Amino acid sequence: MTVLITGVGAVAEEPRTDAGGAPWFDPAAHLGRRGWKYLTPATRYLLAAGNQALGRRHDDPPLTGAAAERFGVVTGTQYAIDRVHRRMDATLTGEGVRGISPAEVPGFSMNTPGSQLAISTGARAFSVTLTDPVTAGLGAVLFAVTALRTGRADTVVAAAADQAPEDHGGSGEYDAAAAVVLSARGRAPGSAGPGRPLAAVTGALSRFLAPDPDGEPAPAALGASAARIAALPGAAGAVRLVIDAPPAAMPLAVAVRDAVTKALADAGSTVPDADAAVRPGRHCAVSGLLELTALTARPDGGGPAVLISVSESGHLTAIRIDNAVRPEFI
């Protein structure tokens, strides 16, 4: 079965010098004038990216009936409740329990952004939230691909959203959301994700590579994981390799890049030097998905490419993509 990316969406804060200027994200521009006041920032970002990927407006009616039951959402996040939790904790210890606002309560659940996207779009196959630091965004793609292959849905939005712990990159991280619409080729997508295919996801996997005190993984485990990544289905030949990792995971990311480059060569693919990039992910759990949306927006269709998110704890998730049309003709 071929899994196609049929839509992408993204909103992302980027570093800038005028930190006191206008907010980087205007919810009214994305979501209209009403209906978002009590939603957390991460939820607003997610709705904006999800709607963009699905080619819908925020006030479009949700799917219903059989189409809704074949449509799922999976969302990655690592900081969905962080600010709400800190605010509520300060309120509780300062003002006492009466200071907690009812409007804020739904925001104190990691799944609330994803649930709001499911409610807004009518996703009834499932709405699952993954919360692994760094890797949850590409983890959402892996989850969606698996769910499509097992027949739990015909169309899935794999998304990620985070509000960084501090404003304007104060923690070294920035706000963002991204979403891709994935469909199984040949299955009726209903009214969700009707766009033309942008790319194909040909394989996905996740692994744990526990780093040693110097941040390096055990050589045998690294080699075994790299071999599995290189064995993900995909056409032989030149392949782009992109590693997304936060600054603290750089030693691990470089080791993964080198090992995967070698393993791909052993498997018959080549990674031109210019195409083996380690990117410092600064958008929390969204970074990997932002890389995926950027790849699929390229004029050449994004593939073939291997995209890997690596956390400082040694959790990695890899996605292999290719041009949308190629798998049918090889």
Partner 1 sequence: MTVVVTGLGAVSCFGSGTGALWEGLLGASRRPDPAPDVCGLPARPHLYAVPDGDAPARGTGRTGALLAAAVAEAVAEAGLSAGDLLDAGLTVGTSLGDIDLSERGAGTDADASVPPATHRVTASLAARFGIGGPGQTLSTACSAGAYAVGWGAELIETGQADVVVACGGDAFSRVAVGTLQRFGLLDGECCRPFDTGRAGMVTGEGAAALVLESAESARRRGRTALAELAGHGWSCDAHHPMAPEPSGDQLRRSAASALAGLDGAPGAAVLHRAGVALNDTVEATAIGEAVTAAGGSAGEVLGYAPKAVMGHTAGAAGVFGCVIAALVLRHGLVPPNAHVTDPDPQCPLTVPLVGPAPLPRPSVLVSGTGFGGNNAVLTWRAAA
Residues 74-113 interacting with partner 1 (rule: CB under 8 A)? 78-79, 81-82, 85-86, 88-90, 92-93, 96-98, 100, 102, 105-106, 108-112
CA 207 – CA 234 distance, rounded (Å) = 19
Contacts of 133 (CB under 8 A, 6+ apart): 78, 284, 285, 311, 313, 315
Nearer to partner 1, 19 or 105 (CB): 105
Contacts of 54 (CB under 8 A, 6+ apart): 7, 9, 121, 157, 179, 181, 192, 193
Residues shown for the chain: 330
Nearer to partner 1, 63 or 198 (CB): 63
CA 46 – CA 34 distance, rounded (Å) = 16
Question: What values do phi and psi take at 322, rounded to 5?
Answer: -150, 175
Q: With binding defined as CB under 8 A, does residue 323 bind partner 1? A: no
Draw the binding track, 170-199, toward partner 1 (x: CB under 8 A; -: no contact): xx----------------------------
Nearer to partner 1, 24 or 126 (CB): 126
3-class state of residue 200 by DSSP: strand
CA 57 – CA 148 distance, rounded (Å) = 25
Residue ranges in 294-313 that form contacts with partner 1 under rule CB under 8 A: 311, 313
CA 207 – CA 217 distance, rounded (Å) = 12
Nearer to partner 1, 106 or 294 (CB): 106
Draw the binding track, 122-151, toward partner 1 (x: CB under 8 A; -: no contact): xxxxxxxxxxxx--x--x--xx--xx-xx-
Residue 311 CB, shortest distance to partner 1, in Å, is: 6
Question: Which one-letter amino acid corresponds to residue 9?
Answer: G
Residue 209 CB, shortest distance to partner 1, in Å, is: 7
Nearer to partner 1, 138 or 271 (CB): 138
Q: With binding defined as CB under 8 A, does residue 72 bind partner 1? A: yes
Residue 101 CB, shortest distance to partner 1, in Å, is: 10
Q: With binding defined as CB under 8 A, does residue 42 bind partner 1? A: no
Of the candidates 254, 239, 227, 249, the residue with the CA atom closest to the CA atom of residue 306: 239
Residue 90 CB, shortest distance to partner 1, in Å, is: 8
* Residue 129, burial from CB neighbour count under 10 angstroms (0-12, 13-18, 19+): buried
Contacts of 92 (CB under 8 A, 6+ apart): 99, 100
Q: Which two tokens stand for residue 35?
A: 């209906």
Residue 163 CB, shortest distance to partner 1, in Å, is: 12
Residue ranges in 150-169 that form contacts with partner 1 under rule CB under 8 A: 150, 152, 165-166
Nearer to partner 1, 224 or 294 (CB): 224
Q: With binding defined as CB under 8 A, does residue 47 bind partner 1? A: no
Nearer to partner 1, 81 or 271 (CB): 81
Residue 71 CB, shortest distance to partner 1, in Å, is: 9
Nearer to partner 1, 43 or 323 (CB): 43
* Residue 328, burial from CB neighbour count under 10 angstroms (0-12, 13-18, 19+): exposed
Q: With binding defined as CB under 8 A, does residue 250 bind partner 1? A: no
